[in-house]
Amino acid sequence: MAKKYTILHFKDGCIGCGSCAAVCEKYWEIQDDGIAHLTGSVLQKKTKENVYVLELDDPGCNADAQDICPAQVIKIRATKKEKKKGVIKKKKAA
Ligand code: SF4
C-alpha cells in the first residue's frame, strides 16, 4: 500500500548548513561531502536533477526540516487524501 507522504530532497541546491539535521536528526545527516542526506531515501530516476525521495506514513520532524531549510530544497508531498485533511504543515511566510 502506498505511503501517505513523499519527502523530497533536491540535493543539487543543498548548501550543507545542517539545519535539517539539527531539527530532525532521525532522518537527516550531513555526510562527508558536506551535503545533507535523507536517511533511507533513494535517487529518483525520472529527473535530471539529483532528487532523493523517501515515502513515509508520517512525515514527523521532516515538516520541521522543510520549514527551516534556508535553501528550500526539502519538500513534503502528501497524497490527495491527506491534503484534503489539511494535516500537512504550511511553510511560514517570510
Ligand atoms: S537545511 Fe536544507 S540546505 Fe541546509 S543542509 Fe539541510 S537540506 Fe541542505
Question: Which CATH number goes with the domain that contains 76?
Answer: 3.30.70.20
Give the Cβ contact number of residue 79 at 10 Å: 13
Q: What is the pTM (predicted TM-score) of this model?
A: 0.85
In this predicted structure, what is the pLDDT of residue 45?
A: 85
Ligand 1 closest atom vs CA 74:
7
| Residues within 6 Å of ligand 1 by CB | 14-20, 36, 69-71, 73-74
Q: Is residue 75 part of a domain?
A: yes
Nearest CA to ligand 1 atom 5: 16
Q: Is 88 within 8 Å of 82 (Cβ atoms)?
A: yes
In this predicted structure, what is the pLDDT of residue 67?
A: 98
Q: How many angstroms does the Cα of residue 8 sit away from the middle of ligand 1? A: 12
Q: Is residue 72 part of a domain?
A: yes
In this predicted structure, what is the pLDDT of residue 89?
A: 56
In this predicted structure, what is the pLDDT of residue 86?
A: 62
Nearest CA to ligand 1 atom 2: 69
Residues of the chain with pLDDT under 70: 1, 81-83, 85-94
Q: Is residue 90 part of a domain?
A: no
Domain total for the chain?
1
In this predicted structure, what is the pLDDT of residue 88?
A: 55
Which residues span the domain enclosing 65? 5-85
Q: Is residue 9 part of a domain?
A: yes
C-alpha to C-alpha distance for 80 and 84, rounded to whole angstroms: 6
In this predicted structure, what is the pLDDT of residue 40?
A: 97
In this predicted structure, what is the pLDDT of residue 47?
A: 79
Residue with cell 501517505: 4
